[in-house]
Chains A and B, each alone.
Chain A
Amino acid sequence: MQQTILILLLFLVSCAKKDNTDEKPGVLTLREMSDLATVEYTVTKVIKASDNKTWFKVGDRKILMSCEAHIKAGIDMGAINENSFKIAGKNIEVSLPPPKVISISLPAEGIKTEYETVSVFRDKFKSQDRDALAAQAEQQILNSIDSLGILNQAKVNTSMFVTSFLKRLGYDNIRITYDGSTRQNPMQ
Chain B
Amino acid sequence: MRKVASLVTKIIFLLICYWFITRVVIPSMKNIFVSKQITIDQTPILIKEIKSIGQLITYTSFDEVVADTTIKTKGSAFVNGFNRFTPVPILPSADKQLVIIGRGKILVGTDLTRLSDSGVTIKNDTVRVQLPKAQILDAILNPSDFETFVEKGEWSNDEVIRVKAQARRKMIEHALNQHILTKADAKAKIVMENFLHNIGYKHVEVF
Chain A positions near chain B (C-beta within 8 angstroms): 4, 7-8, 11-12, 15, 26-51, 53-54, 56-57, 68, 70, 72, 74, 77-78, 80-82, 84-85, 87, 92, 102-109, 111-113, 124, 126-141, 144, 148, 153, 157, 160-161, 165-166, 168-170
Chain B residues within 8 Å of A48, by CB: 40-41, 43
Residue in chain B with minimal CB distance to A40: B51
Q: List 6 A-B contacts (CB under 8 A).
A: A31-B60, A36-B57, A45-B44, A56-B33, A81-B198, A144-B45
Residue in chain B with minimal CB distance to A76: B57
Is the pair B61, A30 in contact by a Cβ cutoff of 8 Å? yes
Total number of residue pairs linking A and B with CB closer than 8 Å: 215
Tell me, rounded to whole Å, the shortest Cβ–Cβ distance linking A39 to chain B: 6
Tell me, rounded to whole Å, the shortest Cβ–Cβ distance linking A35 to chain B: 4
Tell me, rounded to whole Å, the shortest Cβ–Cβ distance linking A18 to chain B: 12
Q: Is the interface of B mostly helix, strand, loop or mixed?
A: mixed
Is the pair A85, B17 in contact by a Cβ cutoff of 8 Å? no
B187 within 8 A of A: yes
* B58 partner, pick from A33, A111, A148, beta carbons under 8 A: A33
Query: How does the 8 Å CB contact mask read for B38-55 relative to A, with 1 for contact and 0 for none?
Result: 111111111111111111
Is the pair B59, A32 in contact by a Cβ cutoff of 8 Å? yes
Known: A39-B51, A103-B140, A108-B165. A82 touches B39 (CB 8 A): no
Chain B residues within 8 Å of A85, by CB: 198-200
Tell me, rounded to whole Å, the shortest Cβ–Cβ distance linking B144 to chain A: 4
B120 within 8 A of A: yes
Is the pair A153, B38 in contact by a Cβ cutoff of 8 Å? no
Q: Is the interface of A mostly helix, strand, loop or mixed?
A: mixed
The 5 closest A-B pairs by CB, nearest first: A134-B143, A135-B144, A108-B164, A128-B148, A42-B49
Mark out the residues of chain B between 163 and 204 whose CB falls within 8 Å of any chain A CB in the assembled complex.
164-165, 168, 178, 180, 183, 187, 191, 194-200
Is the pair A108, B154 in contact by a Cβ cutoff of 8 Å? no
Chain B residues within 8 Å of A74, by CB: 55
Q: How far is the CA of A147 from the CA of B54 in the complex (A)?
A: 23
Known: A8-B17, A43-B47, A45-B46. A133 touches B38 (CB 8 A): yes
B127 within 8 A of A: yes
Q: How far is the CA of A124 from the CA of B160 in the complex (A)?
A: 15
